[in-house]
Structure 1
Amino acid sequence: MTASVPSPSAGPLPQPVPELHAPSRWTSIDILSDLHLQAGLPGTTAAWARHLTTTTAQAVILLGDVFEVWVGDDAAEPGSFEAHCEAILREASRTRSLYFMAGNRDFLVGPGFLARCGVQALPDPTVLVAFGRRWLLSHGDALCLDDVDYQAFRRQVREPAWQQSFLAQPLEQRRELAARMRAASEQRKREHGLEGYGDLDKAATLDWLRATDAEALIHGHTHRPADHTLPEGRRRHVLSDWDFDTPGQPPRGEVLRLDAQGLQRVTVPAAR
């Protein structure tokens, strides 16, 4: 990776911004996010595992909220759901390159877990240089500036001191706290629905794209898959969330596949 681009005139762009350069041997790259994996979602977990091990892409980039919650790498104890996911990633990493960018649910995934899985960490944001083009990758939550309360929470929990204090608590206590936070989040969804959550700030998004000389932003977080046209010929591509477990609902899972021809949406089938 290399780094360093000028600071934007506005917008919360971290510095420096790293670059991931795709090797010439790669012919396609899969990008996905927002699986929200947990023990109670066996269908989604199985579809994810199947895709990781069967995709024709030479690299898979996970743009955050892969896990519904992550309370520390020590949660991947023998027999746990986290250990099961570790084994899936480790197997997939033997045949393709895997990358992980933290989301708002799994920002505590640490270097120990990733190293055991053979997965490389990506800072948020990162510029992907591939097939002669520059793509800005982000989970997306840092650009939801209208959600002032969330941005304050995000700043707090990303502080090393807060994380050290949280991780110093016993594992079961961390699990209980995470369960309460998830319950509060689900209550907010029931009260406000998807539209109650903010979308990305347009001006800040353009600032990020200009500052990194990228033509398009690829992100998740909002669960509103779409392709948006922005000023100056730039674009914003929003990833789908995944759900293969909700009764009465059709399965939902999609990756954005990048190759020399551009970007396409690929539907992920349910595992059989």
Structure 2
Amino acid sequence: MILLISDLHLEEERPDISRAFLHFLQTRATQAEALYILGDFFEAWIGDDAMSPFQRSIAQALRRVSDGGTKIYLMHGNRDFMIGADFCRQAGCTLLADPTLAQLNGEPVLLMHGDSLCTRDEAYMRLRRWLRNPLTLWILRHLPLATRHKLARKLRKESRTQTRMKASEIIDVTAEEVPRIMAAYGVKTLIHGHTHRPATHPLLVDGAAAQRIVLGDWDKQGWALLVDANGFQQHAFALS
């Protein structure tokens, strides 16, 4: 079986989520062939050189599962796009591009974080292009740690303020963008997170039946998508 999760937003201020994730690793993830984490794994990430003891402990927990035989794949989200090779080495995971075409149960499936699908949010898309520019990333990684911490706090505060002010359809995926990118990759299943709106949406791609599966965020409960011989099944579970 294969497991997919996203949007845990791990941080020391939410020990309930961290405990639930560690339990998830020790129980369900150790039984899986692969675990895919599709972005916003951490609430914030300002560079591998700034890893806190808490973040290192998460890396060590992932490494134990990886050493046990479960393949672990990690994709950047909009909160942790500066995760780099050093963290992945410590965690024993493989960093995926966004989007990535994966084979799940013999079917080509497109995996994304999901923020790049929100094309109606033009201000965010401009910010995203600027932040993901290789030159910008190089500059950010070479700023003093104190400056990076300050900038991260500022961006998080602004993001929360703007999200509250924007209409819900602006911060959701653009309906027309979904079949366009699915057709471009030749898939009938797209899996993403980011919107915190877990659901399976049937749609048509080039006239054929398709589906968009939105992963749930870990907040009041946890979510995991199970892929096995029975297909795609997403379940919620208590954090306690």
TM-score of the superposed pair, with normalisation by structure 1: 0.82
Asked if the contact 1:75/1:82 (under 8 Å) is kept, the reply is no
- For the pair 1:267 / 2:223, whether they are aligned, the reply is no
Structure 1 stretch displaced more, 196-205 or 62-71: 196-205
Tell me the SS of whatever aligns to 2:172. coil
More strand by share: 2
Give unpaired runs (5+ residues) of structure 1. 1-27, 244-250
Q: 1:173 to 1:52 in 2, by over 3 A?
A: same
Higher helix share: 2
User: Does residue 60 in structure 1 map to residue 29 in structure 2?
Assistant: no
1:255 aligns with 2:224: yes
Once residues 219 and 188 of structure 1 are traced to their aligned partners in structure 2, the CA distance between those partners, rounded to angstroms, is: 22
State how 1:178-197 maps to structure 2 within 5 Å: 178-192=152-166, 195=168, 197=170
Give the counterpart letter for 2:151 in structure 1.
L
Counterpart of 2:82 in structure 1: which amino acid? Answer: L
Report percent identity of matched pairs. Answer: 38
| 1:238 corresponds to 2:214 | yes
Q: Distance in 1 between matches of 2:237 and 2:56?
A: 24
What residue is the counterpart of 1:9 in the other structure? none
CA distance in 1 between partners of 2:102 and 2:34 (Å): 12
Aligned positions of 1:1-272 closer than 5 A? 28-55=1-28, 56-77=31-52, 80-95=53-68, 96-192=70-166, 195=168, 197-231=170-204, 232-243=208-219, 251-271=220-240
Q: What secondary structure does 1:230 align onto?
A: strand
Contact 2:163/2:171 (CA < 8 Å) preserved in 1?
no
- Give the paired residue count: 234
User: Per the alignment, in what secondary structure is the counterpart of residue 233 of structure 1?
Assistant: strand
Instruction: Tell me the C-alpha RMSD between the 2 structures.
Output: 1.5
The question of whether the paired residues in 2 share the 8 Å contact of 1:29 and 1:258 is answered with yes
Q: Distance in 2 between matches of 1:192 and 1:147?
A: 9
Give the secondary-structure state (helix, strand or coil) at the position aligned to 1:105: coil
Return the alpha-carbon distance in structure 2 between the equivalents of residues 166 and 51 of structure 1: 33
Per-residue Cα deviation, 1:49-93 (whole angstroms, up to 9, x for no partner) = 11122113221100000111100001125xx22222222222221
Alpha-carbon separation, structure 1, partners of 2:95 and 2:84: 9
Q: Shift of residue 203 of structure 1?
A: 2.3
> 2 CA distance for matches of 1:110 and 1:46?
24
The one-letter amino acid of 2:234's match is R
Amino acid at match of 1:180: K
Q: Secondary structure at 2:88's aligned position in 1?
A: helix
Preserved contact between residue 76 and residue 86 of structure 1 (Cα < 8 Å): no
* CA deviation map 1:147-189 (0-9, x unaligned): 0011100100111110111111111221111011111222234
SS in structure 2 at match of 1:93: helix
Q: Secondary structure at the match of 1:164?
A: helix
Q: Secondary structure at the match of 1:240?
A: coil
**Partner SS, residue 161 of structure 1:** helix
CA distance in 1, matches of 2:161, 2:193: 21
Paired letter, 1:219: H
Question: Whole-Å Cα distance in 2 between the matches of residues 189 and 201 of structure 1?
Answer: 16
Moved more, 122-131 or 182-191: 182-191
Contact persistence 2:60–2:90 (CA under 8 A): no
